[in-house]
Structure formats: structure tokens, C-alpha cells
């Protein structure tokens, strides 16, 4: 087990984050020290909740009654105003007060939705993340981004709201569906591309063990990505500039998610977005073509080439890009690369430049 700390200078707030296997005793100890006698609710999606209901109740029954284990339907569609209102109603009916603690058990959808619920209930109640997917463990549970989707686009309604602690148990990945596991590897490759050449080389060399979910390797991957994410968030918590480095591949990735009605999962959409961003980087900033080819090969090696870009027209993509949070003056702005691990942030892209990048496939 490893313990990390995310130190937020602006609020002088320190968030402990544990990475390891079988963290239930550590979680019980933390809850006993900080939340004994407080009102707790554990909220999860229907799939994860059904898988871990018995384990949760066996390990945490002393902290909350079974009726405080609340489920919502799994899937991106639950990141909605309707589901948020339903959960708010349920908590208030159960007399949740300002001293309430919410535990978000699940992947990125659970973290985003329950995090926004915590941010808005009584103007903010305490939150702990228990991420169960690879994507949530390496990325979405860290940094305080919470929110819901809008018909116009993804994550357009939300807040920055930090948890009190994060418990990242590698054992949760044992029950992760293969598609969800590969989905998370899209974000791992993103970290390697923008921040860590050693991680990149390691991903190339250790492909078989990583795909086999070797527990020691998984803990090493998650811990390294956690370190990288913490370093970025500590420099720029509210994404005023530097934190946008993490958006490599996300500008087009989010557009693909929306246009597919979220049938294309986040990691696969980001993989396609990275391929486009790499070609834009090559065309506009001189990123070596050999590196673009290596990225293509790495995404192929991890079976992340699931998106047929021909399914989306230039006009469709462009219109969605204009609604992206990073759009400025009616032009989408991308995170691109001048060289491997050397980012160019908020780079404005013209429609004809995007067309040229798409035509390169």
C-alpha cells in the first residue's frame, strides 16, 4: 500500500490518497477517526452496487444502515439533472444534514454525479471517493472535477469540489469488464504521451502483463498515474491553464462521445481524439511523424482503435467542438504536442486544419 497527498495551496487543504489492495481496514480506521457518529450514505451505480453490496455491508455496517446504501442506474445517461434531483430528494427524505458524508463507489460516472451531489447538498457536504474502474482510479477521482451532462455537451454543468480522501483499491479491477479495463488504458496512454516518456516505454515493453492485469503491474501503473495527476492538480487546481495539459485527445473525444449518444466509451473516444490531436500536432507544430506512428501502434496494441472516424462528418464534429468548454471566440482550442511530453496549450484550430487532420486517416 502506498499513501499519497494532494496539497492544495489555495485552500491549504491536504487530501490523503491510498493505493493498494484490500483497503477496507484502512478505510474503517479513517472513518472511525473522522466520521464516527456522523450520518453516512454510500451511493453507487446499479452494476457496481450489486457486485459489492455484501462486501460493503460486511466491512462498513458499523458506520451506516443498509437503507443508506443507495443505487442509481449504471451508464453515462445517469449524469443528468433528473438523476441528480432524484438523489437529492432521497437524501433529504432520509434527513441528510450538513454533517453528512457521501461515499462515491464506482467509476467515473459515480464520481462525477455523487461528487456534484455532495457539492450542491446543503451547499457542500463531505465526500470520499472509492473508485472502482481503472479510468476513475488513474484520473477522474483525482482533482475535484464533478458534474453532469447537458444535451448540448458533456460535463457542461458542474463544479470543482474536492473529496476529503480517496481510497483506490486495486482489487476492484478484478471484476472490471474487459471493455472497461481497456477504456481506462486510454487515459493511461494519455499520461504517457503528455508527461512521462518512461511510462510510455514501459507500456510498449510490458503489454502482455498489463493486458493480463498482473496485480503488481496494475498497482505500479495506478500509482504512477496518481503521482502525475497530483503534480498537475497541485500546480493548477481550477484549470486556469496548465491543467489543460490533461485534455490531450479530449476535445474531439468529448465530441465523439456526444455524437455517439455515449455509446462510444470515454477511453475509446479519447484514443480517437489523441490520434487526431497527434496529426494536428504534426501538421501545425512539427511533432515527428514517427512519434505519431508509435502512438497509433500503442493504441492498436491495447485494442483501443474502436472508433471509425468516418462515422462522423466534419460539420458534425465542428459544431459540437464549438460548444466545448475550451472553445474561445468561436474556435475550438486543443492541447497539442510540440514534441513528446512537450505540450502546447489552448492552441486554436481552424476548421480546414481539422479537415486536413481527418483526411490523414
Catalytic residue positions?
123, 145, 187, 229, 239, 243, 247, 250, 254, 266
Give the C-alpha distances (Å, rounded to integers) separating 57 from 30, 97, 219, 229.
17, 22, 25, 31
Bridge-based pairing of strands 40-45 and 101-106 is parallel
* CA pair distance 323, 24, nearest whole angstrom: 42
Name residue, grid cell 455537451.
Answer: 153
Report whether 176 contacts 132 (CB < 8 A): yes
The crossing angle, in degrees rounded to 10, of helices 178-195 and 215-235 is: 50
Cβ neighbours of residue 70 closer than 8 Å, sequence gap 6 or more: 41, 42, 43, 44, 87, 90, 91
How long is the chain?
361
Whose CA is closest to 135, among 93, 177, 72? 177
Residues 305 and 299: beta-carbon distance below 8 Å? yes
Amino acid at each position: 500500500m502506498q499513501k499519497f497527498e494532494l496539497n492544495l495551496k489555495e485552500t491549504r487543504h491536504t487530501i490523503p490518497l491510498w493505493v493498494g489492495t484490500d483497503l477496507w481496514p484502512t478505510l474503517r480506521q479513517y472513518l472511525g477517526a473522522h466520521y464516527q457518529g456522523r450520518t453516512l450514505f454510500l451511493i453507487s451505480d446499479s452494476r457496481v452496487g450489486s457486485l459489492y453490496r455484501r462486501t460493503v455491508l460486511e466491512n462498513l455496517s458499523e458506520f451506516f444502515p443498509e437503507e443508506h446504501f443507495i443505487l442509481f442506474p449504471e451508464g453515462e445517461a445517469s449524469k443528468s439533472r433528473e438523476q441528480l434531483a432524484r438523489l437529492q430528494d432521497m437524501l433529504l427524505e432520509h434527513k441528510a444534514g450538513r454533517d453528512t458524508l457521501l461515499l462515491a463507489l464506482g467509476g467515473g460516472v459515480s464520481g462525477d454525479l455523487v461528487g456534484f451531489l455532495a457539492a450542491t447538498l446543503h451547499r457542500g457536504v463531505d465526500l470520499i471517493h472509492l473508485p472502482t474502474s481503472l479510468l476513475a482510479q488513474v484520473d477522474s477521482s483525482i482533482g475535484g472535477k464533478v458534474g453532469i451532462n447537458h444535451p448540448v455537451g458533456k460535463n457542461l454543468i458542474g463544479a470543482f469540489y474536492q473529496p476529503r480522501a480517496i481510497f483506490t483499491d486495486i482489487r476492484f479491477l478484478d471484476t472490471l469488464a474487459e471493455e472497461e479495463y481497456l477504456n481506462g488504458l486510454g487515459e493511461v496512454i494519455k499520461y504517457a504521451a503528455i508527461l512521462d516518456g518512461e511510462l510510455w516505454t514501459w507500456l510498449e515493453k510490458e503489454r502482455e502483463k498489463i493486458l493480463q492485469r498482473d496485480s503488481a503491474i496494475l498497482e505500479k501503473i495506478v500509482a504512477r498515474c496518481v503521482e502525475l495527476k497530483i503534480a498537475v492538480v497541485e500546480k493548477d487546481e481550477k484549470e486556469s491553464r496548465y491543467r489543460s495539459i490533461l485534455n490531450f485527445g479530449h476535445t474531439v473525444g468529448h465530441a465523439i462521445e456526444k455524437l455517439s449518444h455515449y455509446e462510444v466509451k470515454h477511453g475509446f473516444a479519447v484514443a480517437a481524439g489523441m490520434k487526431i490531436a497527434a496529426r494536428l500536432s504534426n501538421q501545425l507544430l512539427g511533432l515527428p511523424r514517427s512519434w505519431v506512428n508509435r502512438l497509433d501502434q500503442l493504441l492498436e496494441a491495447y485494442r483501443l482503435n474502436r472508433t471509425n472516424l468516418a462515422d462522423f462528418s466534419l460539420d458534425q464534429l465542428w459544431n459540437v467542438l464549438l460548444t466545448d468548454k475550451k472553445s474561445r471566440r468561436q474556435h475550438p482550442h486543443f492541447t497539442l504536442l510540440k514534441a513528446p511530453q512537450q505540450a502546447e496549450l489552448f492552441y486554436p484550430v481552424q476548421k480546414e486544419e481539422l479537415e486536413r487532420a481527418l483526411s490523414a486517416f
